Amino acid sequence: MHLSGGKTLQGQVVKRETGITLVETLTIVALIGILAAVAIPSLAPSSSPYDVVREARRAHSALVEARSRATAEQRDYRFSVSAGNTYQVQYDNGAGWTAFRTVSLPDRVAMTIGGGDSGEIVFKPHGRVEGPTAIALDDGRAYQRVSILASGLVRWEGPTP
């Protein structure tokens, strides 16, 4: 049994240890984590080089899906870029083109197709395209390129200017 003042019933003095507890340490670490989570996004630039990589991966996936659907469904699929900041995957419904997917690029990221800011790539039912071409994504700091061979093969080439 302990009494106040740090003495026990037997008259021995118990030394009190000073320091911080595990709970106090975890509370401080949690507060620092919360402050960092709030502060870091506001300090980062609005566009990072990873935006271009992410959008190149998305465009690559959309092109591969367009080719796969063209062969599976035996109809034309089109990857269409307009004004360098939006692209669509469309399919030929027999009476015209129907949008299957529309993607708007982040501000600062621009897409070119065959060197221009608009154009299209049409995948035929056998998976081929009319001629080889490429799309490029650029934000002034980072560059990514995706090539489409005449065979329809879609290749992500990465940062090759």
The pLDDT score that the predictor gives to residue 2 is: 47
pLDDT bracket for residue 97 (50, 70, 90): very high
Beta strands in the chain (DSSP E): 77-82, 86-92, 97-104, 110-113, 119-123, 133-138, 143-148, 154-158
The pair of structure tokens assigned to 102 is 């529309």
pLDDT (0 to 100) of residue 1: 47
Cα distance between residue 4 and residue 159, in whole Å: 71
Q: Note the pLDDT tens digit of each residue in 22-43.
A: 888 999 999 998 888 887 766 5
Question: Domain for residue 16, yes or no?
Answer: no
Per the structure, the count of domains in the chain is 1
> Is residue 160 pLDDT above 70, yes or no?
no
Measured CA to CA, the distance from residue 122 to residue 77 in angstroms comes to 6
Residue 80 pairs with which residues in a beta bridge?
Answer: 88, 120
90 located within any domain: yes
The answer as to whether 60 is a domain residue is yes
Residue 7 lies in a domain: no
Answer whether residue 5 shows pLDDT above 70.
no
| CATH number, residue 100 | 3.55.40.10
In-domain check, residue 23: no
> What percent of the chain clears pLDDT 70, i.e. is strictly above it?
83
Domain assignment present for residue 18? The answer is no
Task: Please check whether residue 143 lies inside any domain of the structure.
Answer: yes
Range of the domain at 53: 49-158
Q: pLDDT for 100-126, tens place per residue?
A: 899 999 888 899 998 888 899 999 999
Is position 101 within any domain? yes
pTM (2 d.p.): 0.68
Confidence of residue 95 (pLDDT cuts 50, 70, 90): very high
